[in-house]
Structures are given as structure tokens and as C-alpha cells.
A and B are shown apart, each in its own frame.
Chain A
Amino acid sequence: MAGPALAVLGLPFAAFVLLAGVPPLRRRGRLAGALSIAAVAGALGVALDLWRRGIRVEARWTWIPADGGPVASVGVLVDELSAAMLVLVTGISFLVQVYSLSYLDAEPPPALGRYYAYQALFAFSMLGLVLAPGFLQMFVFWELVGLCSYLLIGYWYARPAAARAAVKAFWVTKLGDLGFVVGIVMLWGATGTFDFAPLFALAARGGLPAEGLGAILLLVYLGAVGKSAQVPLHVWLPDAMEGPTPVSALIHAATMVTAGVFLVTRAMPLFALAPDVLALVGWVGAITAFLAATMACVEDDIKRVLAYSTVSQLGYMMAAAGAGAPEAGFGHLLTHGVFKALLFLAAGAVIHALGTNDIFRMGGLFGAMWQTGTAFVVGSLALAGVWPLAGFFSKEAVLAGVLAGGRPGPFLLLAVTTFLTAFYMFRVVFVAFLGRPHPGAHPHEAPVLMTGPLWVLIALTVGLGARAAGDGTAAAHGPGWLAPLSLGLAAAGVLLAWAMYRRQAPAALRLAGLLAPLAFVARKRYGLDALYAAAYRGAILGLSLVVGWVDRYVVDGLVNLWSALTLRGGDLLRRVQSGRAQDYVYGVAFGVLVLFLWAQWVMR
């Protein structure tokens, strides 16, 4: 029964092994891409089949055997959660890889082959994480995902900014991963197993030790904070924009950042036992959503706006999970994956056409590239939560879940964020896609390999929303005033963006003037990046100072001391050698005398 799940996992892995192990194939570039795309397409087909038929599989094999049962096991676990994730991951991977063929057409073939090898590995890692039946396997793939994001963010490794961003992403997420691994080992120490099924059974029976569980889950949650870019470990995500745009789409929509939310959702039976940790998850999520939204409002880089919006939406998902409504957060993860991929791919088409990321150097793009423009507007509407697109229903569910969970504080923050979301997305729409064309820009529509995935994603965004509307599931969520409230907030955000950037109404401009100090602080990213940089620099410099001192004065000092002793000793002894034969004879005669006297003394 585990066959199809293993096939989903094995196809991208086979593609990666082929591309990594057969250099001639890799150097062909587009052929390598075709191979990887075919593998992911196959995985997508199998995953769709698994999801549609609702197959439930759990298979585990012993990994580390021991006397009292296996210490660790590997396997696959397919349920509603992982089946949906499988479809999302393979689907987005497939579309992104097709899109990349055109987006990266200027790359030399060997580099393109390398790109597709990483892409295949990325898909494999994320699928392995999703299918993991235990914390240990999840952690292994978790780290693989981190490695792949490092490789892809640093794909243009010759650019210093890209190399720095890749290292930053790696380090910041590792900080969280440290907590994760310590947490699962502590959990293993308390229960003796890494696997979900026995752990959840224990949790249901109340067999878990109450004390210490909070600390363990807090550590596990730390891993999710790093991966899912929650405050204060969100700093790597905006910088990860240095990678190629399709990579950003993949990281933000399907892989990497969703891993944290998936982890919390998966481990919800455990988190449910620690209400304090859940409350923290909820608050951190809400604060993340709000702060990231404010930072998105002042960004000029189209990709960074989207990056902060991802951070913000991840905050929504975590807030839902923290309020005890993980299914709402997970639903938002799925719909967000679709329309965020749509937004990123549309932004990629714009960047590909114009060669700039600055929205103020775009303008009037709708005329030149109506397909991309449509995609971006549909994505923005979905992200802003406008009926009847997919984002409306999932965001509605999150808000209802948070409210039902009895968390008015996070709910208020999230409601304000809804307004901000609509504002910053339509700021981009009004500035870049409507308005007057920028004189220096010569936009042109993207080729069909790029618009094709866009249309697929538009259809999915609309289709998912239409299905939710048709189901009438929207009515099941929350009190009656919730939908009008969130729609009203979204509309207000769009209106404000329109007034400020399209009409440039005096009242709106006065408001902007009033908020200038806030905008300044947000533009500085609340000083967090600077703080980290200073702390990092301080730590490195401090350590270097100590190491430098030890090296200079202790290590070098010893060496220098010995050399000085040798030199001085040689200098002293040198004076003995006068070069006159008679002095030596004196020495010999004196020596004989001493020997003679010594012999006399001994004989006596």
C-alpha cells in the first residue's frame, strides 16, 4: 500500500540522482529541466490520485534497531493533511519548474542543469518532510529543505548579495532548528519514541508527562519559528528574494516556509496539551502578521512586498493554529500557496520583462502585459481576501477560528492586518500596473511557458474560491458580522491605496504625512535587521579579538620566546669561538688539568 507514496517520493529523488550523477545530462540544461519536470509531473499525478481516492497509508520500517523496539523508524504517512500537502508541493513545483524553463532561458546550460538538480532535490526533501511518520525523519528532511533553500537562494552565487542572503537564510533557520532537534530528543527521552502515532496515542490517553512538555513543545515550536519566518526570526525571508523569482515562488508557496506551519499542524495533538505554548504561538503569529504587513506597506521592491506579505500570511496561519483551529490555518496554507505562487510568478514575469524590481520604475503595465496584469490583480484580490476568491474563505476561517478560540487580542491585530494587506497589495497594483507608464520602461508580454502556469494558477485561485462558495462552507464560519467586517476592511484598504497612489487626494497625502515617522521605522524594519547584524558582528568581532590576542601573544609568544632564547644563547656561545688556535689549546690544557685533579680526587 505504501507503493504510491514511495513513488511520489522516489520520482524527484531519481531525477536528482540522475542529474547529480550524470554530468553530461546535467550540462544539457533544458534536457535536465525536462527530466526534472517529467519526474515532478509523475509525482503530481500519483499525489492527485492519492488525494482524490482519500487513501490512508501508514508504513514504518525500522531504522535504528534496539532491544526494546526500534529507536527510530522511517516510513510514509499519508492522511488528509499530508495528501493535500503532497498535491500542493508537487503541483507548485511542477508549475514553477515549467515557468523556470522560460524565466531562466538566458542561463548557460550547465547552470540551468544545476538549477534543476536543486529543484528536484528540493521537491524530494519537502515531500519527505510531508510524508514523515515521525519527528526524526521529519527533522532529516527539514534540514534537507533548509539546505536546498540555501542552494537555490544562492543560485547566482557570484553576486555577493545572493551569497549573503543564502548564508543568512541558512544561519537564521539553523537557530530555530537547534531548538527543534533539542526538543524532539527531549521528547524521545520522555517517551522513548519519535513516531507520531504512538505519541498521539499517549497524548490521547494522557500518558505524557505534564511537566516538561511545555518546554519541549516550545523548543519544537522554535524550529517552526525559524522555518516559517515568525518574528523575530523572520529576517531571512525578505533577503531570500536574491534568488531567482521562481525559487521565491516555490519557497513562499509550497516548500520551506510552509514546513513550520505543517509541523505545528501535524503535532497539534501534542500542542493541545500545552495551552500556554499555544497561546504564545497565537500571539507571535498575530504580531508577525501585523509587523510584516506594516513593513510591506513601505517597501518599493515588488518581490519584497510579496515576501513581507508571505511573512504576514504565515502569521495568520500560526495564529489560527495557536487559537486551536489548525485546520483553518492549514486551509489558508493551501489557498495561500496557490495565490502566492501566482503573485510571485506574475512578479517574475514583470521583472523578466523590465529588469527592475522597483515598483516606482514600473507603471501602466496592464496595457502592455494584460495576462500578467490579470494574474497579479487576481492574486492581489485573493490575498486581500475579496469574495469569492480562495483567499476570502480561508482568511475568513482563520479569523473565525481565532475569534472562536477566545483570543480577542490576536483577532484585533489580524483584523487590522486585513486592512493593511489590501492596502499594500493594491499599492503595488495601482503604482505598477495602472497609472502612467514609466518613460524608461519597455514592457512586453511574457512567453507562453510563463503565462501558461499563470493561467493555471488563476483558474485554481478562482476555482477553489468558487467551490468554497458553492459548498456553502463560508456560512459555517464565525458570526454573521465577520464577513462584512473583513470585506469592509479589505475594501477600505483598496480605497486608501487608490486615494493615495492613483488619485493622490490631498486628505490621503496629509494622512501619509502624519504617518511618516511610522513609515520611517517600518522602512528601517523596526531595527531588527540592524540589531541582528550588530549582535552578529559584535559576537564575531569579540571572538576574533580574543582569538587574535591568544594567537598573537600566546601561540606566537611561545614560538618567539624559544627563538629568542636560541638566538641569545647562540650569540653568547659564539663569543667562545675566537678562531685563535691557542685559545682552544688553553681550553684543552685546562680540561686536562681538571680531569687530572678529578682523577686525583676520585683515586683518593
Chain B
Amino acid sequence: MGLHAYLGLAAVVFAVGLFGVLTRRNAIGILLGIELMLNAVNINLAAFTRFHGDPTGLVFALFTIAITVAEVGVGLAIVIAIFRVRRTVEADHLTLLRG
């Protein structure tokens, strides 16, 4: 299996994540989609480290994982806060910014 196989997998995972972000109505589903996209990036980083023999990618992958965790923490906190106020987490209903 070559580099392209990993990149292809990452692209597919990223696309699935993007699709989820765009189509999910539930805020938690959207967060899940974001997770998938971030993990596609991680796959890319790991694959490049493996095939180029440069450990810098792994360092970045570790950073990404750490930041992802923080992001999920903050994101879920926001979702809970929204739910407390609006009694819903449906993204379609959260249109306060409409012009």
C-alpha cells in the first residue's frame, strides 16, 4: 500500500465529515463531523511521517489530538448551554444571526 492509499482514505474521511457537518441538523452531529475532518488530517500527518521519515508530522498530530479534545470539551459545553436556554440543539432553529 502506498502513500496514495492513505491520502485517499483521509480524503474520504474528510469528505464524510464535511458531509456530516453540512447536512446534520443536530449540533452534536455537527461536532462529530468536525471530529471526523480533524481525524482525516491526522491520518494525513501520520502517513506523511511514515513515508517521508520526518517525525515533525507526528508532533503536529499530537497537537491536533490535544486541541481536538479541548475543542470537543468547549463545543459540548456550548451545546449544553444552548440547550439550557433554548431547549433545543437543532441547528435550524439557531438563527439569531439572520440578517
Contact B92 A580 (CB under 8 A): yes
Binds B, one of A313-321, A520-528, A571-579: A571-579
Interface size on B, residues (CB 8 A): 12
Q: Is A581 an interface residue (CB 8 A)?
A: yes
Contact B22 A589 (CB under 8 A): yes
A579 CA / B96 CA spacing, docked (Å): 6
Residues of A within 8 A of B92 (CB): 580
Q: Which of B22, B91, B94, B95 contacts A586 (CB 8 A)?
A: B22
Q: Which of A573, A574, A575, A582 contacts B91 (CB 8 A)?
A: A582
Indicate with 1 or 0, residue by residue over B78-94, a CB within 8 angstroms of chain A CB atoms.
Answer: 00000000000001101
Q: Which of B18, B21, B98 contacts A578 (CB 8 A)?
A: B98
Q: Is A559 an interface residue (CB 8 A)?
A: no
Q: Is B97 an interface residue (CB 8 A)?
A: yes
A574 CA / B21 CA spacing, docked (Å): 24
A492 CA / B46 CA spacing, docked (Å): 134
Q: Is B30 an interface residue (CB 8 A)?
A: yes
Residues of A within 8 A of B98 (CB): 577-580
Contact A576 B94 (CB under 8 A): no
Interface residues of B in 10-60 (CB under 8 A from A): 18, 21-22, 30
Contact A585 B95 (CB under 8 A): no
Contact B99 A582 (CB under 8 A): no
Contact A589 B18 (CB under 8 A): yes
Residue of A whose beta carbon sits closest to that of B92: A580
Contact B99 A574 (CB under 8 A): yes
Residues of B within 8 A of A576 (CB): 99
A589 CA / B15 CA spacing, docked (Å): 11
Contact A579 B21 (CB under 8 A): no
Contact B97 A585 (CB under 8 A): no
Residue of A whose beta carbon sits closest to that of B97: A579
A581 CA / B94 CA spacing, docked (Å): 8
Residues of A within 8 A of B99 (CB): 573-579
Contact A577 B21 (CB under 8 A): no
A573 CA / B98 CA spacing, docked (Å): 12
A582 CA / B33 CA spacing, docked (Å): 12
A68 CA / B92 CA spacing, docked (Å): 93
Residues of A within 8 A of B94 (CB): 579-581
Residues of A within 8 A of B22 (CB): 582, 585-586, 589
Interface residues of A in 553-604 (CB under 8 A from B): 573-582, 585-586, 589
The distance from the CB of B14 to the nearest CB of chain A, in whole angstroms, is: 11
Residue of A whose beta carbon sits closest to that of B33: A585
A71 CA / B9 CA spacing, docked (Å): 100
The distance from the CB of A198 to the nearest CB of chain B, in whole angstroms, is: 83
Q: Which of A573, A575, A582 contacts B21 (CB 8 A)?
A: A582
- Given contacts A585-B22, A586-B22, A589-B22, are A580 and B91 in contact (CB under 8 A)? yes
Contact A580 B18 (CB under 8 A): no
A578 CA / B98 CA spacing, docked (Å): 5
Seen from chain B, the residues whose Cβ lies within 8 Å of a Cβ on chain A are: 18, 21-22, 30, 91-92, 94-99
Beyond A577-B97, A579-B95, A580-B98, 19 additional pairs, beta carbon < 8 A? A574-B99, A575-B99, A576-B99, A577-B98, A578-B95, A578-B98, A578-B99, A579-B94, A579-B97, A579-B98, A580-B91, A580-B92, A580-B94, A580-B95, A581-B30, A581-B94, A582-B30, A585-B22, A589-B18
Seen from chain A, the residues whose Cβ lies within 8 Å of a Cβ on chain B are: 573-582, 585-586, 589
> Can you report 16 A-B residue pairs in the complex whose CB atoms are below 8 A from each other?
A575-B99, A576-B99, A577-B97, A577-B98, A577-B99, A579-B94, A579-B97, A580-B95, A581-B91, A582-B21, A582-B22, A582-B30, A585-B22, A586-B22, A589-B18, A589-B22
Closest CB pairs A-B (n = 7) = A579-B98, A577-B99, A579-B95, A574-B99, A579-B97, A580-B95, A582-B22
